[in-house]
């Protein structure tokens, strides 16, 4: 998930992690460790209360699908 542009990364940190870059980095590290798309999506669902229709979440899911799908 290192394919995020600087703007996209800043948007995710702001919108998904309330501006906390350390939480973002930890989440990305965890998501990068997955080898199965369903496991990664389940991790997101179980650990975050994100709106699945938000731009930031759609972006992360798209990147996960490209990496693991």
pLDDT of residue 62: 93
- Positions of the chain with pLDDT lower than 50, given as ranges: none
Question: 3-class SS at 16?
Answer: helix
pLDDT of residue 1: 66
pLDDT of residue 66: 93
Retrieve residue 38's tokens. Answer: 């369903």
- Residue 49 backbone phi and psi in degrees, to 5: -100, 60
Look up the pTM and report it: 0.83
pLDDT of residue 56: 84
pLDDT of residue 10: 92
3-state helix, strand, coil in the chain (%, to 5): 70, 0, 30
Contact indicator for 50, 57 with CB cutoff of 8 Å: yes
């Amino acid at each position: 998930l290192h394919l995020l542009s600087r703007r996209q990364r800043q948007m995710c940190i702001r919108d998904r992690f309330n501006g906390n870059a350390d939480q973002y980095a930890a989440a990305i590290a965890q998501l990068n460790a997955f080898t199965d798309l369903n496991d990664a999506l389940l991790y997101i669902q179980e650990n975050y209360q994100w709106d699945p229709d938000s731009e930031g979440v759609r972006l992360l899911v798209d990147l996960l699908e490209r990496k693991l799908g």
